[in-house]
Amino acid sequence: MGLLTNAGKDLVSVYAELGLEPYLDFVVTSEEAGEDKPKPAIFLLALQRAGVSAQEAIHVGDQYVIDIVGARGVGIKPVLIDRYDIYPDVADCPRIHSLTRVTDNL
């Protein structure tokens, strides 16, 4: 499991403070990839770090254009996490309200 972020490397320490490190195999920043989401480079670097093909991966994100369109653009199955019903009309990908629902859509 990895984390893709448009935040810089200096903010990666925040994820450690939040207690996410034990759950992550890798973190990919837009700084490392040379492009922000939704451009392909950050998604492709994540696939490389995970050692999987796009068809084997899912990307869970909370922003439609940045996460869903970006992931789909490289062939990754997107899942929209919409905790606050910001995107009620989205029907072209699974839409969940909690991370506990991710596996419901696999």
Residue 68 CA to residue 37 CA, distance in Å, equals 10
Asked whether the predicted pLDDT for residue 105 surpasses 70, the reply is no
Q: What's this model's pTM, rounded to 2 decimal places?
A: 0.91
pLDDT tens per residue, range 9-32: 777 678 888 888 899 999 999 999
How many domains does the chain contain in total?
Answer: 1
Which of the 8 DSSP states describes residue 54?
A: G
pLDDT tens per residue, range 28-87: 999 999 999 999 999 999 999 999 999 999 999 999 999 999 999 999 999 999 999 999
Task: Show the domain range for 33.
Answer: 2-105
- Say if residues 23 and 1 touch (Cβ distance below 8 Å): yes
The CATH number for 11's domain is: 3.40.50.1000
Is residue 45 classed as helix, strand or coil in its secondary structure?
Answer: helix
Residue 87 CA to residue 85 CA, distance in Å, equals 5
Residue 60 CA to residue 54 CA, distance in Å, equals 13
